Amino acid sequence: MQEIGKNHLVLVGAGHSNLHLVKNVSKLQKNGFRITLISPTDFYYNGVAPGVLSNFYPERFGKIDVQCHLDVEDSQYLKFDVKKVNVKDNKIYSHDNQSVHFDYLSINIGGSVPLEKIPGSEEFVFPIRPISKFWEFSAKLKQSIEEGSKKDFTIIIIGGGAAGVEITGNVWDLFNTKGVKSRIVLVTGGDSILTQFPIAAQKKVLNLFSKREIHVKLNSRVIKIQENLIVTESEEELSFDYCILASGVIPNTLDSQNSLLTTKMGELIVTSFLQCKNYSHIFATGDCSYFEDQPLWKSGYHAINQGPILLKNLIASTKGKKLHKYKPSKRIITALNLGDGIGLIIYGRFTLLSRFSLKVKDFIEKRYIKSAKCSE
Ligand SMILES: Cc1cc2nc3c(=O)[nH]c(=O)nc-3n(C[C@H](O)[C@H](O)[C@H](O)COP(=O)(O)OP(=O)(O)OC[C@H]3O[C@@H](n4cnc5c(N)ncnc54)[C@H](O)[C@@H]3O)c2cc1C
């Protein structure tokens, strides 16, 4: 099946940077590549997930059909999880030992919420990632509300970062719009929420949540989860109907028999050219990678912006040309959807909580999704 003269580029994971390659399949083909994408799921744009929860966006908004980009000669999309990469024979392996040979490899497999850190989470909570679990949460919650048999819900969100805060705001919006009584509790081990952002941003959101009667429990590290109950470090017990875990992200990993260099957490260490250390034909991007020049915030922002550099570097590699460096912006714009038509924009020290901020976010997200879809 291997074609003479063509470099087989295997893309592992339908993440943001690999999506950029998939969108540019014809350019890659012109430069001598044939392409195989391997991913158990299509591409999902998480940035709009909180808005889907509150019905600001329709169900599954942000799902991009990757197959349509690959409906061209010499390209294929294989739907499975990659388990292992063997750099000695340049092959990747599935769980059932199917193998695919590569000349070039691009790993963009994202991250997950670590369930094993809090005993009981695997059984009793919904993690926000992988996104399939989030959709499950969203569907079950909406179904419970629609059934109407329960009149009063308690929802606990664990994690005070950007994703946890967005989910909290949009869960509140969902109940508020439906006119169903709810107690929404955001629980975090930190002494504030959004701790990576300026204090002004933290205060604005705490103030908004207080007006909405959302309970924010600071300094409350969750140590155990039981059926419908969380237990914090101070032995406080809080009961819930639904609990969602948004407490940080760990990289998804592949078994590489210790040949690819990783951090302790398992992120693949990459150079400024996005190449894995010591393997110039293997690239890694997004949340599963560690950019050795400087630690990057795990975000769709970097995974998206690494895409064009990855494309250029793959093409340059085959031609023996100079590679391009990924130069992360010093300041990145963050836009959060807090539900009920309100957004928060954070850019350096500048913060704006307003309806206009959500319009800006909505514009950015829709433009991205439109650009990622196949043209009709
Ligand atoms: C609710 C929520 C809201 C967010 N909002 C924002 C935001 O507004 N702005 C922002 O910048 N960031 C945001 N983020 C963070 C952002 O979504 C992630 O940082 C981003 O998705 C990482 O992109 P990625 O390309 O590395 O991987 P992903 O987008 O996670 O894609 C990984 C892909 O790899 C596949 N995969 C996984 N394991 C394997 C395997 N073993 N073999 C093959 N394929 C595999 C997956 O199925 C998936 O297709 C948000 C996250 C969440 C959860």
Residue 128 in contact with ligand 1 by CB distance below 6 A = yes
**Angstrom distance (rounded) from CA 228 to CA 238:** 8
> Which residue in 3, 31, 20 sits closest to 316, CA to CA?
31
Rounded to the nearest whole angstrom, what is the distance from the C-alpha of residue 50 to the centroid of ligand 1?
A: 14
**Angstrom distance (rounded) from CA 243 to CA 168:** 11
Residue nearest to atom 31 of ligand 1 (CA): 15
CB neighbour class for 274 (10 Å; exposed up to 12, middle 13-18, buried from 19): buried
pLDDT bucket at 376, cuts 50 / 70 / 90:
low
Instruction: Give the pLDDT confidence of 28-80 residue by residue, as tens digits.
Output: 999 999 999 999 999 999 999 999 999 999 988 999 999 999 999 889 999 99
Per DSSP bridges, beta strands 99-101 and 91-94 are: antiparallel
> Is 110 within 8 Å of 18 (Cβ atoms)?
no
CB neighbour class for 114 (10 Å; exposed up to 12, middle 13-18, buried from 19): middle
**Angstrom distance (rounded) from CA 116 to CA 255:** 19
Instruction: Give the pLDDT confidence of 237-254 residue by residue, as tens digits.
Output: 999 999 999 988 899 999
pLDDT at 5 (0 to 100): 67
Report the DSSP beta bridge partners of residue 230: 225, 238
Q: Which domains does the chain have, with CATH numbers?
A: 7-112+250-319 (3.50.50.60), 115-246 (3.50.50.60)
pLDDT bucket at 330, cuts 50 / 70 / 90:
confident
Q: In the predicted model, what is the mean pLDDT of residues 297-314?
A: 96
Rounded to the nearest whole angstrom, what is the distance from the C-alpha of residue 338 to the centroid of ligand 1?
A: 20
Atom of ligand 1 nearest to the CA of 38: 43
> Is 217 within 8 Å of 185 (Cβ atoms)?
yes
Atom of ligand 1 nearest to the CA of 304: 25
> Which residue in 79, 103, 108 sits closest to 90, CA to CA?
103
Instruction: Give the pLDDT confidence of 81-136 residue by residue, as tens digits.
Output: 999 999 999 999 999 999 999 999 999 999 999 998 899 999 999 999 988 899 99
Q: What is the pTM (predicted TM-score) of this model?
A: 0.95
